Every structure is written in structure tokens, then in C-alpha cells.
Amino acid sequence: MSEENTTIAAATENTIPEKYRHRTLINQKYIFEKKIGAGSFGCVYRGKNVISGDQVAIKYEATEAKIPTLLWESKILNHLSGKQGVVKLRYYGTESNKNIIVMDLFSHTLCEEIKIIKSCVANTSIITKPENVDKSTTGSSPDEAEIETVLYKKDSMMAHASSGDDGSEGSGAGVSQTIHPTVQSHSSSSSSSSGISYVNSSPDLPIVTPHIIEMVKYLISMIEIISRVHEAGIVHRDIKPENFMLTVDKRLHIIDFGLSRFYMKGDKHVVNTCDKSIVGTMRYISTHIHDGNVYSRRDDIISIMYVAIYLIKGSLPWIGIVSQKGILTSKEDLVYAKKASISTTELCDGIPYLFQKLLDYSYSLDFEDKPDYSYMTRQCKNYLKLYI
């Protein structure tokens, strides 16, 4: 070891609290504390920076893994460094025959957050929201005013949506690095999350519960975050509820970039070869991916809409489909057939029309199209104007 490195090591040793000096340290400062998840790639642990005291997530895989992903994920995260709403990479390296990345640790997943809000609905009061909204006070353009007049379809909706099956399927590329705490009841400064359920005065319109209002807010954040990822030339390719994480103060972040790819080669969009295998989590991928198309920006957007609809309704029509004995049709084909056959009207039955409108828009995009993120977030904000 050189004299300079010896001096650095000695200085680092002096900053480590005595009780940690005999522990195995990662990058001379991080320790493993508790296992919080596992996948085909390896394991995720809650860890700690013994110098600063910061809690972190530590993800590792064996160096001899058949399909190593952490080196690639570290490169993607370095490329996205500084992007608001993207998990921060703190360290990547190989130690003790393990590829290791250290990242920020979050409180809980978006899926857990929505379930918490749903669980509070039974104890809420219901008030009537006036049907007539003064458009002169909203500053709406003609297009925005139109969405405000058709926010709901005339279908009934269960106020207490089933929490559904939260299990992931498909990619096996990663797991959420939540620490699964006992999260306290949701609170916010907005009236929509203060224990009040809004309902239109017309009896044939659905109840609007706090989890719908909050989901629309989080949908805005999801779209804004993915727009920054896309701006950097990357598609995520594994959008699912478990990959959206919340800090204690409810700021949304996206994690798990092991399957991500660049959709730009220099200044040109990648070519669609239409012969690709499925990538991502099957329940949330678009029909374009089932068809063998190369992943592009539109597919991340479609997956976000499927996630939002799932979190509101508690399920999707193709969840739970299994191949029957003696039938050669695969689960993949059965899920695809269901997705392709069900209309967006049926899929969004009983929830605000906003979700059908945005899903229809997402499916209208061509392979190389840049989604109009501002249009999508504007529709969400116009919806929220009626309740906030």
C-alpha cells in the first residue's frame, strides 16, 4: 500500500466508531443490518453509513452470477445522477466476491401508501361536492374545460376497493428496498387526505375517495419523474408499484434500473425490430411488448397508467390468469389475449374518466413518439382543481 493510501486508510479508521471497527465494512463505511428483500439478482439489505449514521439500501449479487445486472444498473444510475425523483447511487464496487451497490433507503412503496389511505376510508365522513364548477376561476383552456365536464363516467364504483394481489411477477430483476415499517396514518395539508371523501351530488356518479385524489397527485409525480429519465435517453422497462418508493415526507422516487436501456443511439432513436422477448413485469407491460416490439417511451407511459389503475381498483382483469392443464396456451398468451380484448372503457369502468383518457392517449403514441408529459400532467391538475 502506498504511503498516501496508508494515510487515507488511517484517517478513515479514526472516523469509524469503536463498536464498528471489527465489523466487515463496505467501502470502509457501510455495514449490513437487516435483509429486506431478494430476487434472482441477489439480495437487498438495509444498511448504515457508520460515519454519517445515514440509513442506506445495499444490493448485491455474486460475481459469478449468470446474468449480472448491478454493474449495468450502476452505470445507468451514474448517467441519471442528479435527476430529481431518481434513487441516488452512493457506491458501486466488488468486494468479497460480490458486486455491490449502495443507494438511498426509502420508507415504503407507493403500493403500501395507497393501501394505507384506502384503509382509512371506512372511518371517513362523506360530503357533497358541488356539481357546478366556475370555469372562469380555473383558467382552463377549451381543451382543459372539456376534461372537466367529463371527469366521470356514469358507472358505480366501490368506495372500498379491494387491495388486490401485490405480488410482483415477470422480471425478477429486482425487489423494492422498503424497510416495511409500521407506517402511520396518512396525513397531508390538503383537504382531500384529511379523512374526507368527496361525492358528487348526482347519485349515479362514483364516490371520490382520498386514495383517488392522492393517486392522481402521485400520477403527476410519476409522469414528471419518467419524463426526466426519458430526457436522459433511457427507458426504465420495469415500471411497477414496487419500484416507486416514498421518503418519510412523501416524496416519490423511482428505483431498480437493472433492466433499463438507452432508446437513443447518438442522436437517433433505436430501430424497432418487432422480434423481442418480453421484458419487464407481465401484468404492467403494454400490448406492444407482448407483440415483440422494442421498448420505447410510450411503453413506460402505458405501464404507469396500468399501475395507477391497479392501485385505484385493487386489481387488473388479467391478474390471476393461469394456464389450464391440457391446454397448450401459455400464461403470457392468455394475459396478452385479455389485455388486447378488453377495451379501455371496460378497464376503467367505475373510476374517473381521466384514467381512460390518459391510457387512450398513451396507446395513440407511435414507436418513436415523445409523449406529451405536460399534456398528461395538465389533465391531472385540472381534475384536482375540482377537489382541492
Listed by start position, the domains of the chain span 3-104, 108-385
**pLDDT > 60? residue 165:** no
pLDDT at 235 (0 to 100): 98
CATH code for residues 108-385 = 1.10.510.10
Do the beta carbons of residue 373 and residue 223 sit within 8 Å?
Answer: yes
Query: Fold identical between 3-104 and 108-385?
Result: no
Report in angstroms the alpha-carbon separations of 192 from 161, 244, 351. Answer: 17, 22, 17
**Averaged confidence pLDDT in the chain:** 80
pLDDT at 273 (0 to 100): 93
Cα of 98 vs its chain's centroid, Å? 27
Question: How confident is the model over 125-150, as pLDDT tens digits?
Answer: 443 454 544 433 333 333 443 433 33
User: Could you identify the residue written with the cell 402521485?
Assistant: 218
Question: How confident is the model over 257-275, as pLDDT tens digits?
Answer: 999 999 999 999 999 999 9
SS3 306: helix
CATH code matching the domain that covers 3-104, chosen among 3.40.50.720, 3.30.200.20, 3.20.20.70, 3.40.50.150: 3.30.200.20
Give residues with Cβ within 8 angstroms of 197, minimum separation 6. 121, 124, 125, 126, 127, 159, 207, 208, 209, 210
Is the pTM here over 0.85, yes or no?
Answer: no
The sign one gets for the Cα dihedral 217, 218, 223, 226 is positive
- Per the model's pLDDT, the better-predicted residue between 254 and 171 turns out to be 254
**pLDDT > 70? residue 71:** yes
- For the ranges 62-66, 353-357, 361-365, which has the lowest average pLDDT? 62-66
pLDDT at 387 (0 to 100): 82
